[in-house]
Amino acid sequence: MINASEDFIKNYPMIFAQSRENPLGVHYWGIECGSGWFGLLEALCERVQAHVDHQKIEQVVFKQVKEKFGDLRIYYSGGDEYINAAIDMAEAFSAIVCENCGAPGVKQRLKGGWIKTVCQACISEFESRV
């Protein structure tokens, strides 16, 4: 099984700098979302780090990456208006991408009251976990 947190930490060590030995003093919970959003997160990390490197701005550090109310949420420090917009866009796109498989999805209230963005094929998989 792929450990997404470790892969992202390895590929983007500056963005996930706080994950190692807790240097920022904030507990790091890892990446708490389904693998369907990893493509969004990968594209975001690539753009963020390239912008930081090119513009020579304060390093962006992701403090928490998770699903909340069916959307991707990224809590971070550093960056500029470009970074803010890129993160806002990734979070907005997550509302139309299945968190489970990455196919087009719709935000729905599932059995048990959970709000998730899922495609039709993945609804039963999410509901079976409740």
Please state the rounded mean pLDDT for residues 104-110. 94
Entry pTM: 0.87
Rounded to whole angstroms, the Cα distance separating 106 from 95 reads 7
* Domain coverage including residue 22: 4-128
When pLDDT is cut at 50, 70 and 90, the band that residue 5 belongs to is confident
Instruction: Note every long-range contact of 10-17, with CB atoms under 8 Å and residues 24 or more positions apart, other chains counting.
Output: 11/42, 11/45, 12/45, 12/49, 14/49, 14/52, 14/59, 14/60, 14/61, 15/45, 15/48, 15/49, 15/59, 15/60, 15/61, 15/62, 16/61, 16/62, 17/59, 17/61
Task: Indicate the residue type of 94.
Answer: S
- Which tokens go with 83? 């970074």
pLDDT on residue 23: 55
Least reliable range by pLDDT among 19-23, 44-48, 63-67, 92-96: 19-23
* pLDDT reading at 9 higher than 90: no
4: left (phi over 0), alpha (psi -120 to 50) or beta: alpha
Please state the rounded mean pLDDT for residues 27-50. 91
Number of domains present in the structure of the chain: 1
